[in-house]
Structures are given as structure tokens and as C-alpha cells.
Amino acid sequence: MEIAAVQWIEWVIKAIILIFILLTGFAYTTLFERRLIARYQARIGPNRSGPFGLLQPVADGIKLIFKEELIPDNADKLVFILAPIITVVPALVILAVVPFGGTINVFGYPVSLTVTDINVGVLYILAIASISVYGIVLAGWSSNNKYAMLGGLRSSAQMISYELALGLTFIGPIIAAGSMSMGDIVDAQKGLWFAFTQPLGALICYIAMMAEVNRDPFDMPEAEQELTAGYHTEYSGMKFALFFMGEYVKMIAVSVIFATLFLGGYRGPGIDQWPLLGPIYLLLKVLGSLWLMVWLRATLPRFRYDRVMALGWKIMLPLSLFNLFFTAVVKVLRDMGGAGEALNLIIGSFM
């Protein structure tokens, strides 16, 4: 068999495995959140479906499959149907460039634990992340419902606002690693995580990611008290389940991306001797991120919308610009090997 054919088969198999992991993770992230919030609120949580409630996601899926699906008479039916798909597909493909481990041998054949490692991986992530906003906007517009339309508009404004700060924080690890490849960024953190060298960038990145996936306290597009559930008001059954799936898959995706950019990715003690520890280390970091998201949801109230926008434009964006400037200056000082010559160069550029 030709090498190209073998590579295509390998890519297809790894893509199928990745999608299966994300769909399974989506199902049990919902259970994880419900049980954890129940703990915070001194309740028991779902525990009736299967042992320890482990079949609750299966019961929820069956319920949504058999729910009646309605499409408003005056809705744009084609766009109405496509909007949930446009929302969930980017969440499933965004992790294609993220390494989940090193290289392992499978029956004597070396297999890299990533779907593909392209040299513009960060750019790919930013491009794919910006697509999902279209699904939300189109869902609100196609429903022919004023509340849904307002939810879609609010969501697009919020996501675009925080994408600016998010994109600027991504440049910090790119400068430090000297590459836009996610694999190179992970390798650059062998000695020290970027979360320690760029704590401000890591903090801004995590907050912006929570705003991107509409998690509390940034769940303004789904503000039930104001918008009757927002952009998905008219959706039911499996179409609503796709929006639901998109949110939780994106929670997992942004946790993986954050861990890769700032927490060393799959790297940890003993990774060179035992490569299979890589996915385990990454899983532990993702679980920690998901726990933090649930904790914040159980703790913080929803912000007022004008304050959400003010935070994005007046605080997050200037701080991310400052972080980028500081990172670039430090990089120049290190490369030039001394502060004096670099300072003269910086001053000279303004003269």
C-alpha cells in the first residue's frame, strides 16, 4: 500500500476517534456539571438512571430524540435547519491540530497522537472558532422571532468583542515558541509552562474563552429572564440538542486549547519514557478547567450586558495589548543578550 494511502487511513481513523471522544465527553460533561453543582448546593443530583446515575446522559439523549420538533411557519426553513449544524461542526473539528501526546508504536507502525500538526495551527484554531458565531446569529434570524433575534445579535457582539482579546493573547505563546504550530508550542514548555511566564495573558485568555463559549457569568445570549432563552427559543428536539452539544463540546475544546497554550499540553513527568502518559496528563488538565468553569457558574451571578461589553473593550483589550507589548520587549531583550543595546534600538525606532 502506498504511503499516501496509509496516511489518509491514519487521518480518517484518528479523526473518527477524536469525534467519538468529544461526543462522549459532551455527554458526561453534562453529568459532571449537574452532579458538581448539586454538591455545591447541598443536593444529590441525578442518580437514578443506571448505577450512580451514569446512564443519565443516555436517558437525556433518548428524550431529546423522541421530542417533537417544530419549525415556525414564517421561519426560513433551510437556514433554520442549517444553523445548529453550523454551530456544532466547528466545535468538533477545531482540535484537529492539537497534539494529545507524542508518538507511539502500534504494531511496529509509528503513530502521532494528533490528527495533523500544521505549521499554522494557531491560525487554524482562530479561523474555526470565528465560524460558530454565524450559526447562532443565523438561528436567531431564521426563527422570525424578535427575542431570538436579539439573542443572536447580543451573542455576535459579545463573541466578536472577546475574540479580539483572545487572539492577542494567542500571540504571546507564538512569540515565546517562535512558531504557530501547536506541537512546537508544547515543546517550548518543556522547562516551564507559559502560564508562569505569561500569567496575565493566561488569565485574559481563559476569561475570553469563557465569554466565547457563553458560559456563566457571560451567558448573555441565553438570558432567560430577558430573552426567553435567546437565539434558540424556537428550537426543540434534536435541533436544540445540537446547540446544547455545541456549548459543551466547545467547553472541552477551549479547555484543551488553553492547556496546550499555557499549561504545557500533554507534557508532564515521565512523558519521554512513557508516551501514553501524555493523554492522561492532558485529561487531568482539562478536567481541572471544566471543574473551574462549573465552580464559576455555581458562584458568580450573570453580569449586566453593558458591563460585559465594557469588560471586553475597556479592560480585556487594553490588557491584552499591554501583555503583547511586554512579551515582545522581553523576547527582544533575550534575543539581543542585553538590555542596553535593545533599549537603544527601541528608543531609536521612535527618533
pLDDT in tens, 97-133: 888 887 777 777 777 778 888 888 888 888 888 887 8
What pLDDT does residue 258 have? 92
pLDDT over threshold 50, residue 47: yes
Is 50 exceeded by the pLDDT of residue 350? Answer: no
CA distance 285 to 295: 15
| The model's pTM | 0.86
Per-residue model confidence (pLDDT) at position 138 = 86
More confident residue, 349 or 116: 116
Is there a contact between 132 and 126 (Cβ–Cβ < 8 Å)?
no
Report whether pLDDT(348) > 60: no
Question: Which pLDDT value is given to residue 287?
Answer: 92
Question: What CA–CA distance (Å, rounded) separates 29 from 255?
Answer: 12
Q: Distances in Å between the alpha carbon of 348 and those of 15, 329, 331, 336, 342? A: 51, 14, 18, 15, 10
Q: What is the pLDDT of residues 53-83, one digit of tens each?
A: 888 888 888 888 888 778 888 888 888 888 8
Residue 339 scores a pLDDT above 70: no
* Mean pLDDT on 25-30: 87
* Mean of the per-residue pLDDT values of the chain: 82
pLDDT class for 351, splitting at 50, 70, 90?
very low
In this structure, the number of other CB atoms found within 10 A of the CB of residue 188 comes to 18
Taking CA atoms, 49 is separated from 41, 65, 244, 245, 276, in Å, by: 21, 17, 20, 20, 33
Q: Look at residues 251, 260, 258 and name the one whose alpha carbon lies nearest to residue 279.
A: 260
Residues 143-158 have a mean pLDDT of 81
Least confident stretch, 26-40, 162-176, 335-349: 335-349
pLDDT in tens, 238-259: 888 888 888 888 899 999 999 9
DSSP 178: T
The average pLDDT across 279-308 equals 87
3-class state of residue 53 by DSSP: helix
pLDDT cut 90: percent of the chain above it: 9
**What pLDDT is attached to residue 347?**
45
Cα→Cα distances 45→54, 57, 60, 283, Å: 12, 13, 14, 24
> For 225-229, 262-266, 285-289, 292-296, which range has the lowest pLDDT when averaged over its residues?
225-229
User: How do residues 259-289 score in pLDDT, each as one tens digit?
Assistant: 999 988 888 888 878 878 888 888 999 999 9
Which pLDDT belongs to residue 229?
Answer: 64
**Residue written as grid cell 479592560:** 315
Q: Is the peptide bond before 217 cis (omega within 30 degrees of 0)?
A: yes
Phi and psi at residue 102, to the nearest 5°: -85, -140
DSSP label at 42? T
